[in-house]
Amino acid sequence: MRYVLLLLLWLPLASACGDSHEHNHAHHHHASELHDHDRCTMCGMAITRYPGPKGQIFMKGSDEPAKFCSTRDMMIFALQPENRRQIEAIFVHDMAATDWESPADTAFISAEDAKFVYHTSKKAVMGPAVAPFSDENAATTFIDEWGGKLYSLDQITIDLLEKP
């Protein structure tokens, strides 16, 4: 009986200490509108003045996202160990649903749901583009036209991004 009582006391504690609360909290975030005055967290450039996909990261303890002028810069920021553990949600432009030259605020998707094309000849503001797509067929069509290779979010590493 004592073991059953201990188990009953332990279960609520175990579930409270798990990551399910953090994971659910991430779903409460939504990509923010980009404004002309917004500056890139990595380089300080005006985000909306340049072509290519942009990104946003919500960090623990902040209701406002860090915004990035390129998804490559955003990925480099996100992959830093001191930042990685603080991330609650990442949003990227869905290049299957928006224009490369002027991506729309309504076209942000969760990076977890995206397929990424890298090593493409299509350039973004900071050089090599990491092009996100909600649809793998759209990503393949992009690769047919601009080259590159398809990656999932967990396949993107600092080493990959540092290779030209």
Q: What gap in Å lies between CA 29 and CA 48, rounded to an integer?
A: 21
pLDDT digits (tens, 9 = 90+) for 99-154: 999 999 899 999 999 999 999 999 888 788 899 999 999 999 999 999 999 999 99
Q: Give me the percent of the chain exceeding a pLDDT of 90.
A: 70
Report which of 83, 106, 131, 95 is spatially closest to residue 30, judged by C-alpha positions.
106
How many other C-beta atoms can be found within 10 angstroms of the C-beta atom of residue 53?
28
Residue 5 has pLDDT above 70, yes or no: no
Q: What gap in Å lies between CA 84 and CA 147, rounded to an integer?
A: 29
Query: Which tokens belong to 141?
Result: 């069509």
Provide the pLDDT for residue 24: 41
Report the predicted TM-score, pTM, of the whole model to 2 decimal places. Answer: 0.80
Domain segments of the chain: what residues? 21-162
Query: What 3 state SS string does 104-125 have?
Result: CHHHEEEHHHCEEEECCCCEEC
pLDDT-wise least confident of 8-12, 25-29, 86-90: 8-12
Q: Which long-range contacts (CB under 8 A, 24 or more apart) does 80-83 make?
A: 83/57, 83/59
Cα atoms found within 13 Å of the Cα of residue 77, Cβ hemisphere only: 22
Tell me the H-state helices in the chain: 2-17, 20-26, 71-79, 81-84, 136-146, 158-162
Instruction: Report the length, in residues, of the chain.
Output: 164
Provide the pLDDT for residue 12: 45
